[in-house]
Amino acid sequence: MEPPKIWREKRQKYLALGISCKKCGKRSFPLSEYCPYCGTNDVEEYRLAETGKILYFTNVSMTSDEMAFNAPYCLGIIELNDGIKVTGQIIDCDYKDLRKGMEVKMVFRILARDGHEGLIKYGFKFTSM
Amino acid sequence: MRMNGRNVFVIGTGLTKFGEFYDRDSTSLATEALNAAINDAKIDRSSIKSAYFGSMTSNSSPHSVFSSKCLRECNMSIPYTRVEAGNASGAAAFHQAYISLASGIYDCVAVIGSEKLSDFVKNGTIEKILGSTIDYQWEYEIGATLTSLYALITKAHMREFHTTMEQLASVPVKNHKNGKENPHAQFRREIPLDRFLSAKRISDPIGRFDLATHCDGSSALILVSEEYLERNSEIKNKIPILSSEHSTDVLALHHRESLTQIKSTVTAAKKAFAKVGIEPTDIAVAEVHDAFPISEILAIEDLGFFEKGEGGNATEAGLTQLNNKISINPSGGLKARGDPFGATGIAQIVEIVEQLRGRADKRQVSEIEYGLTHNIMGTGVLAYVNIFGQEEMKQ
Ligand SMILES: [Zn+2]
């Protein structure tokens, strides 16, 4: 894991930030300096909605070393209540109980760890409501 | 010069066996393939003025600058370019080589695809490497792997079009049957349907045996311009590249409108067919990107060979078997041939060229006018589509 990268991205990863465009009014994810819809840099930070529903889901058993402590885990594409879609892990649940349309809320958790004494990467995951 | 550039031909092909070669490095594999292609073209190696290497991981320490070492071992001192486009690096290198000839910059170039993946034995390393073919920050680091994204795509296709597990498994069953006849394939044996169905799921509904294996291998081509052929009329076995197109889609699945269509494949195919002035039904044989069973089903739909949603049905009904409605992956595809990322896109072209030359032995498709190759990166952020024709055809 790369310390400068974790440091650089911690604000957007920890706070789940996107942007809201002051010119065309559209919101987008992830955080960026320019609006992907109209190209202006007249944008402001926007905090994503914290609740949403599951659109697609699966489970993951084979994953990279630094995420293996957590496997197997459930993963899905979530449509947040502000219309923005994100990929995220769905935790504290059994895979067999997941359904399309199930309501979930965003929580703050450990995403990856570099062994027992290395860096820890945090970010959002989802849990059922 | 015409709008579409000069006519370009493939005059030589070379391929190593694909598999796990713990005793060989990237340079050794690439050198074998390039020498084979030069010998096949029956030209003097001094005619080759530039080389394009397709490789995804060759900048990682054990394989650094294998391109330079390969050219040195082939006794060639020419400028080279390494092209990286994830697991479509081979097709990307081919496309750049094609442009260099079509534009009139060069008259004779070599294209080499090479990958050495059996060195990465530690669990999770390949998943991390493939993480760079998807959205690394917002898919991979969040917990997604390439396999899990294809699991989402598979489930979406099953939900939308009632595609069944049996239909999905009939893709690798067919490809292993074809691969049995391919001397360069990693796996030369048939695998029965229930082995796929009963295997442990690694990302539901994708099972342990559904993935193409990440292995070692190298492939090479010699490409020339029409002007070069006019000057060297003794050259036989020239296969015209009728079109070479690529296209793109957004990187992350969560930014796409639909998971059941790879937009980059659709647009690249449309451009390729329009340039040649033919329809998908004119293609007799195609090598498509079957990294997962759903990948081949999406490919045969998005390339226009079957209606959207009909890919599973068509495969189960045998329509994509050798010498049926359309022969898909006569080489065995990524699944049976094995998938050394950068070597794959060029190995697909080698197969189609050999098919058009009538040199595919027991895998030979009869009466081919046109053949097609299709190679994609990740979940389709890039797609490459090439169409080849018979010797006498012109672009
Ligand atoms: Zn805007």
Q: Which residue has the higher pLDDT, B280 or A115?
A: B280
> What is the band of B59 on the pLDDT scale with cuts at 50, 70, 90?
low
Q: How many CA atoms lie within 13 A of B8 on its CB side?
A: 30
Residues B384, B95 contacting (CB under 8 angstroms)? yes
Tell me: pLDDT of A105 over 50.
yes
Residues B310, B260 contacting (CB under 8 angstroms)? no
Tell me: pLDDT of B395 over 60.
no
Query: What number is the average pLDDT over the span B153-174?
Result: 98
> What is the band of B381 on the pLDDT scale with cuts at 50, 70, 90?
very high
Domain at B146-213+242-389: CATH architecture:
3-Layer(aba) Sandwich (3.40)
Count of all residues that appear for chain A in the document? 129
Q: Can you name the residues that pair with A75 across neighbouring β-strands?
A: A58, A89
Nearest to B204 among A30, A58, A64 (CB): A58
Percent of chain A with pLDDT over 70: 100
- The C-alpha R_g of chain A, in whole angstroms, comes to 16
Element spanning B357, H or E? helix B341-357
> What is the band of B158 on the pLDDT scale with cuts at 50, 70, 90?
very high
**Euclidean distance between CA atoms A94 and B13, whole angstroms:** 51
Q: Which residue has the higher pLDDT, B122 or B214?
A: B214
Distances (CA, A) of B187 to B179, B214, B334: 7, 12, 10
Identify the closest residue of chain A to B250 by CA–CA distance. A36
Question: Strand B327-328 to strand A17-21: parallel, antiparallel, or no bridges (unpaired)?
Answer: unpaired
Query: What number is the average pLDDT over the span B55-83?
Result: 87
CATH of domain A3-128: 2.40.50
Give the tokens for residue B25.
């490095």
Give the tokens for residue B254.
């969560």
- Answer whether B8-121+214-239 and B146-213+242-389 agree in fold: yes
To the nearest whole number, what is the mean pLDDT of chain B? 95
3-state class of B156 per DSSP?
A: helix
Q: How far is the CA of A84 from the centre of ligand 1 (A)?
A: 15
Identify the closest residue of chain B to A31 by CA–CA distance. B138
Please say whether the dihedral angle defined by the alpha carbons of residues B61, B130, B141 and B211, taken in this order, is positive or negative: negative
Q: How far is the CA of B377 from the centre of ligand 1 (A)?
A: 29
Percent of chain A with pLDDT over 90: 82
- Most A CBs within 10 Å, among B153, B213, B253, B255, to test the A interface: B255
- Whether the link from the prior residue into B205 is cis, omega within 30° of 0, is yes
Q: Give DSSP secondary structure letters for chain A.
A: --HHHHHHHHHHHHHTEEEEETTT--EESS--SS-TTT--S-EEEEEPPSEEEEEEEEEE-S--GGGGGG-SEEEEEEEETTS-EEEEEEESS-GGG--TT-EEEEEEEEEEESTTTS-EEEEEEEEE-
Q: Are B127 and A76 an interchain contact pair (Cβ–Cβ within 8 Å)?
A: no
- Sheet arrangement for strand A27-28: A27-28, A17-21, A43-47
Distances (CA, A) of A50 to A16, A31, A78, A85, A128: 9, 16, 11, 12, 12
Q: Which residues contact B331 (CB under 8 A, 6 or more apart)?
A: B178, B179, B182, B184, B185, B287, B337, B347, B348, B351, B363
**Euclidean distance between CA atoms B213 and B118, whole angstroms:** 10
To the nearest whole number, what is the mean pLDDT of chain A? 94
Task: For chain B, say whether A41 makes contact (Cβ under 8 Å).
Answer: no
> What is the band of B62 on the pLDDT scale with cuts at 50, 70, 90?
low
Reported as a single tens digit per residue, the pLDDT across B92-115 is 999 999 999 999 999 999 999 999
Reported as a single tens digit per residue, the pLDDT across A46-100 is 999 999 999 999 999 999 888 999 999 999 999 999 999 999 999 999 999 999 9
Query: What number is the average pLDDT over the span B222-245?
Result: 95
ipTM attached to this prediction: 0.97
**Euclidean distance between CA atoms B4 and B391, whole angstroms:** 19
Identify the closest residue of chain A to B151 by CA–CA distance. A58
Give the tokens for residue B274.
């329009």
Residues B293, B154 contacting (CB under 8 angstroms)? yes
Percent of chain B with pLDDT over 90: 93
Query: What number is the average pLDDT over the span B37-57?
Result: 96
For chain B, give every domain's residue range.
Answer: 8-121+214-239, 146-213+242-389
> What is the band of B60 on the pLDDT scale with cuts at 50, 70, 90?
low
Distances (CA, A) of B109 to A91, B349, B356, B395: 53, 15, 21, 19
Distances (CA, A) of B163 to B67, B153, B155, B259: 43, 12, 9, 14
Q: Are B124 and A62 an interchain contact pair (Cβ–Cβ within 8 Å)?
A: yes
Chain B, residues 226-285, CB within 8 A of chain A, namely 252-255, 259
Residues B220, B34 contacting (CB under 8 angstroms)? yes
Give the tokens for residue B127.
């998943």
What phi, psi does A88 have (nearest 5°)?
-160, 155
Task: For chain B, say whether A12 makes contact (Cβ under 8 Å).
Answer: no
Element spanning B13, H or E? strand B8-15
Q: For ligand 1, a single-atom ion, which residues have Cβ within 5 Å?
A: A 21, 23-24, 35, 37-38
Residues B25, B62 contacting (CB under 8 angstroms)? yes
The pLDDT of residue B2 = 44
Reported as a single tens digit per residue, the pLDDT across B338-353 is 999 999 999 999 999 9
> What is the band of A114 on the pLDDT scale with cuts at 50, 70, 90?
confident
Query: What number is the average pLDDT over the span B301-330?
Result: 98
Q: Are B156 and A86 an interchain contact pair (Cβ–Cβ within 8 Å)?
A: no
CA of A43, closest CA in chain B: separation in Å? 19
**Euclidean distance between CA atoms A58 and A89, whole angstroms:** 10
pTM, full prediction: 0.96
Residues B342, B217 contacting (CB under 8 angstroms)? no
Question: Strand B239-248 to strand B382-389: parallel, antiparallel, or no bridges (unpaired)?
Answer: antiparallel
> What is the band of B284 on the pLDDT scale with cuts at 50, 70, 90?
very high
What phi, psi does B14 have (nearest 5°)?
-145, 145
The pLDDT of residue B213 = 95
Q: Which fold has domain B8-121+214-239?
A: Peroxisomal Thiolase; Chain A, domain 1 (3.40.47)
Q: Which residues contact B92 (CB under 8 A, 6 or more apart)?
A: B54, B83, B84, B85, B246, B345, B382, B384
Task: For chain A, say whether B143 makes contact (Cβ under 8 Å).
Answer: yes
Residues B90, B113 contacting (CB under 8 angstroms)? yes
The pLDDT of residue A1 = 75
